[in-house]
Structure 1
Amino acid sequence: MATDNQRGVLFDVDGTLVDTTYLHTVSWWEALRQADQPVPMATIHRAIGMGSDKLLDHLLGPERDRAADGKLRDAHDSLYGEYWERLVPLPRAADLVRACAARGLRVVLATSAAAHEVGALRRALDADDAITTVTCAADAEQSKPAPDILVAALEQSGLDASRVVFVGDSVWDVAAAGKLDIPCVGLTCGGTSRGELAGAGAVAVYDDPAALLEALADSPLAAPR
């Protein structure tokens, strides 16, 4: 629960701070291909940002036989895991995180990545000195677009929804934030267009962390709520 009037910023990580969206896309594509359930990459890409449970419902239909879901998730995790040592942050992502902390914002990585993936993401970002709290998939009963991971981020950091901004790269991020009346700043570096993010309700849209950092003083992250 919130304990003070501290302001904060919640960051999605995959596709927002670390350049992983298309790695997840190709990993799901290959996992589905191996299971003889091919789905076009463009369709998969549009679903990235959901949790794996909702992603598979979205791609394969909610009425399907779910018996193979565990194997599909394991195949994705194995394929994606091959990239862990090569993950790279998006432009100036660590600088943005540190600049937010320097402005007195409590910085939270509100990621729904699996616990075993979070370490690789944090190593790639390399900004632990400026981060207050980090969530993972185990902290949320339901994945995005449900707001559970944001609720967990607020509870673990002592922040209140009325005092934070969320930064994400997908329409699912915007939808999750909207359910808690949290303004969402969108970044297009995950491959979702400016129009799609704005149309979903993002209060501002920037190209990537570097562009948000450059405009930070005039961005929603700087405005008092």
Structure 2
Amino acid sequence: MAADTTTQKKRGVLFDVDGTLIDSSYFHAMAWWQAFRREGLDIEISAIHRRVGMGGDRLIQSLVPDCSEDMQEDLKSAHGAVFSTFWPTLRTFESVRDLLAACSDAGLAVGLASSAQERDLEVSRHLLDAGSSIDAWTSSNDAKESKPAPDILEACLEKLGLSPEDVVFVGDAVWDVKAGSAIGIPVIALTCGGISEAELRDAGAAEVYDNPRHLLENLETSMIGKLMAGSRGA
């Protein structure tokens, strides 16, 4: 299905991609660290990692409040260039394809609510190799404001033809939880992106699992399982 067509499915699951389905959070942190160093900015990589999942503009503003527009563009360009060198290293987390297929086979619409750059998203979609399990996807081109604003989730919902009350969002960052909460979408959080369960629950996550495999093992009793049961009964 093309990324801009709606589905006839009544319920769905939105998935963040980086740090949730693809093991890339620390590579993004390293790419930002190198980008800052190129501009003579010595920022601790731990501080960067805690902000991965924000949009690049918000991440930069949070770490360098007085950053000029020109420097911000240079930083984003450098991050993209460095991150692309990590593409051959990227891998999906264990059981990702099985998780996406289980959701799809149960009658749920599956959307990739990603705010990645289009070229990075294409690499991720190739890695996922999930075929018809994915009904729609988004990139940074689909949102005016980046996470924790909910724009990218709203864009994915529109493409699926669903409403917030029809879906669950799966992410790995505090910013994912905040974005979902902003429009009333319950969020299942995964700690595989490097953020602790306590932080994710404090942000408002409804459920927390270690990784996609752990979620898949508990799928029937999770919030996704409830959506699956509702879909079967519809």
Structure 1 counterpart of 2:73? 70
Verify the 8 A CA contact 2:7 2:160 in the aligned structure 1.
Answer: no
Shift of 1:5: 6.7
5+ long unaligned stretches in structure 2: none
2:132 to 105, 129, 154: 129
Structure 1 counterpart of 2:10? 6
Structure 2 counterpart of 1:51? 55
Shift of 1:64: 3.1
Question: How far, CA to CA, are the matches of 1:70 and 1:92 in structure 2?
Answer: 36
Alignment of 1:174-213 (within 5 A): 174-213=177-216
Q: CA RMSD in A?
A: 1.5
Question: How far, CA to CA, are the matches of 1:112 and 1:2 in structure 2?
Answer: 19
Question: How far, CA to CA, are the matches of 1:189 and 1:3 in structure 2?
Answer: 30
Question: How far, CA to CA, are the matches of 1:9 and 1:138 in structure 2?
Answer: 21
Q: Is 1:164 paired with 2:167?
A: yes
5+ long unaligned stretches in structure 1: none
Shift of 1:103: 1.1
Verify the 8 A CA contact 1:4 1:159 in the aligned structure 2.
Answer: no
Shift of 1:66: 2.6
Shift of 1:3: 8.1
Question: How far, CA to CA, are the matches of 1:20 and 1:107 in structure 2?
Answer: 21
Runs ≥4 residues deviating over 6 A: 1-5
Verify the 8 A CA contact 1:5 1:163 in the aligned structure 2.
Answer: no
Q: Is 1:24 paired with 2:34?
A: no
Q: Is 1:33 paired with 2:37?
A: yes
Q: Is 1:110 paired with 2:113?
A: yes
TM-score by length of structure 2 reads: 0.92
Identity %: 44
Question: How far, CA to CA, are the matches of 1:162 and 1:4 in structure 2?
Answer: 16
Question: How far, CA to CA, are the matches of 1:86 and 1:2 in structure 2?
Answer: 33
AA of the residue aligned to 1:199: D
Q: Is 1:153 paired with 2:153?
A: no
Question: How far, CA to CA, are the matches of 1:190 and 1:86 in structure 2?
Answer: 16
- Relative to 1, partners in 2 of residues 1:55 and 1:161: Cα closer, same or farther, differing over 3 Å? same
TM-score by length of structure 1 reads: 0.96
Question: How far, CA to CA, are the matches of 2:201 and 2:175 in structure 1?
Answer: 12
Aligned length: 224
Question: How far, CA to CA, are the matches of 2:167 and 2:7 in structure 1?
Answer: 14
2:145 to 137, 142, 145: 142
Structure 1 counterpart of 2:89? 86
AA of the residue aligned to 1:153: C
Task: Specify the SS of the correspondent of 2:75.
Answer: helix
